[in-house]
Amino acid sequence: MTIRQPKLTTGGTLLAALLIFTAYTAAQTPTLTTIYSFQGAPGDGQQPGGVVPGGGGMLYGFASGGASNNGVVFSLTPPASPGAAWTETVLHNFNGGSSDGSGPLAIAVGGGGVLYGITGGGGTAGGGTAFSLTPPASRGGPWSEALLYSFPSRLLLNPGLAIDGHGVLYGTTFQGGTGTCPFPATGCGTVYSLAPPASSGGAWTESVLYSFMDNGSDGFYPLAGVVIGSGGVLYGTTGGGSAYGGGTAFSLTPPVSAGGAWTENVLVSLRWGGPSLGFEPDSGLAIGGGGTLYGTTKQGGNYGCPDVEAVGGCGAVFELVPPASPGGAWNSRLIYDFYPVCCGDAYWPTSAVVGSGGVLYGATYEGGSGNLGAVYSLTPPASPGGAWTEAVVHSFTGIPPDGALTGGLVVGIGAIYGVTAEGGTPNNYGTVFSLQP
């Protein structure tokens, strides 16, 4: 089994609950436009990890680089007139060390427009931090950063951060916890929460909600964050473990009374090296209508793959339909498995899907006509049980101003947005793009 700690460029960024079907009208032909190219250190970031939508059409994101080369948080302000340039502003340069984080991994937008995020390094123990960025009281002033929490070392925080209506943050760690795993012997990973203080100026409280176990049925080594569903239930994936060794999709149900234990349920066990749903999910889940979950796997599917690092197929997209009655089994179904050998298809999906008008959109780190990543669409069947229809919406070329090696997607006002780790004008430091479905 091949389990890799995810790259910054493939990390997803999540709001409290990602409802993938949105109401705006789809255009005839999806159009992808590069809206910003990063310039690199010292004045700008590079290799962006993701963006999230804010109020008024704003985008907020994170990237490596910056003045101290420890990463930045940035904003993108939409133009006053269509077709004009977006305006990028670096809101914070991370300094590293014990008093600040380094290597931002995820951000989320909270109440009052406050940004919350995590970093993979820095803090008092060197294991990463949780931070907030508060907008200025007057337009154009500096944002105020606060270090909320320093994580213990060697946990390896994953990209992805969810925030609920009470301001509680949720995420996962690749290692840590009470479980014992084959390598390394520092735990099988966790799901954690960070709760804000009861009164201003107090300490944030971190709680391990669940420790994954290598027990022959549970998953381990999560590679992405969680999303929040109805009733505060958390949903996510693990890159390894399960009865078949290929990872899992899981739920975590909150306790009935405060302080009780969260209840984990493995919704599906993925088969390593086998066909059907694929295996080794690199990304989290998305929530659709009726509580249906959609996920992607980096490898597997029913076809071979030309990439030498691929054990089985080139990845797949699957759905999980909740049971008709509580306690029943979830129904799993393969939606699509990628097949680049014959048709220049996308492959290696490394982000969760999003959607517009019932059509799913996703991104792959490789594949497409230039083998530099692609954005794809999946249109549902006309009748239940039929085949979904896949199309490559955009193949990245890396030729300016286009990007290359894409990360995750998010739904914003009137468009879908995403980032690429490379490409752009003129320095090949990555881009932010919009997709008009």
DSSP 224-241: S--EE-GGG-EEEEESEE
Asked if the peptide bond before residue 42 counts as cis, ω within 30 degrees of 0, the response is yes
Structural domain includes residue 1: no
Q: Look at the alpha carbons of 9, 13, 18, 23 in this order and tell me if their dihedral is positive or negative.
A: negative
Residue 132 lies in a domain: yes
- Please give the pLDDT value at position 236: 98
In a domain, 4, yes or no: no
285 belongs to a structural domain: yes
* The predicted structure's pLDDT at residue 301: 79
Q: How far apart are CA 410 and CA 18, in angstroms?
A: 9
Give the DSSP H/E element, type plus range, for residue 341.
Answer: helix 340-343
Whether 5 is covered by a domain: the verdict is: no
The 10 Å CB-count burial string (b at 16+, else e) for 303-330 is: bebeeeebbbbbbbbbbbebeeeeeeeb
Domain limits for position 181 = 11-436
Round to whole Å and give the CA distance between 181 and 189.
Answer: 9
Which residues, including other chains, have CB under 8 Å from residue 378's CB and lie 6 or more apart? 317, 335, 336, 353, 359, 360, 361, 362, 388, 389, 390
Q: Name the domain count of the chain.
A: 1
Residue whose C-alpha is closest to residue 208's, from 249, 157, 248: 157
How much is the pLDDT for 162? Answer: 98
Residue 361 included in any domain: yes
Does 308 fall in a domain? yes
Q: Tens-digit pLDDT profile for the chain (437 aa)?
A: 333 333 333 333 333 334 444 433 344 578 999 999 999 988 999 999 999 999 999 999 999 999 999 999 999 999 998 889 999 999 999 999 888 999 999 999 999 999 999 999 999 999 999 999 999 998 889 999 999 999 988 789 999 999 999 999 999 999 999 988 877 668 999 999 999 998 888 999 999 999 999 899 999 999 999 999 999 999 999 999 999 989 999 999 999 988 899 999 999 999 886 667 888 999 999 999 999 999 999 888 776 676 656 567 889 999 999 998 888 999 999 999 888 766 778 888 988 999 877 899 999 988 898 889 999 999 999 988 889 999 999 999 999 999 999 989 999 988 999 999 999 998 899 999 999 98
Both structure tokens of 176: 């840590």
**In 396-430, which ranges are E strands?**
403-411, 416-423
For residue 130, the model assigns a pLDDT of 97
Q: Are 287 and 229 in contact (CB under 8 A)?
A: yes
CA 231, distance to chain mean position in Å, is: 22
This prediction has a pTM of 0.92
CB burial of residue 201 (10 Å; 0-12, 13-18, 19+): exposed
CB within 8 A of 138, min separation 6: which ones? none
Indicate which CATH number applies to the domain containing 365. Answer: 2.120.10.30
What is the predicted pLDDT for the residue at 25?
Answer: 39
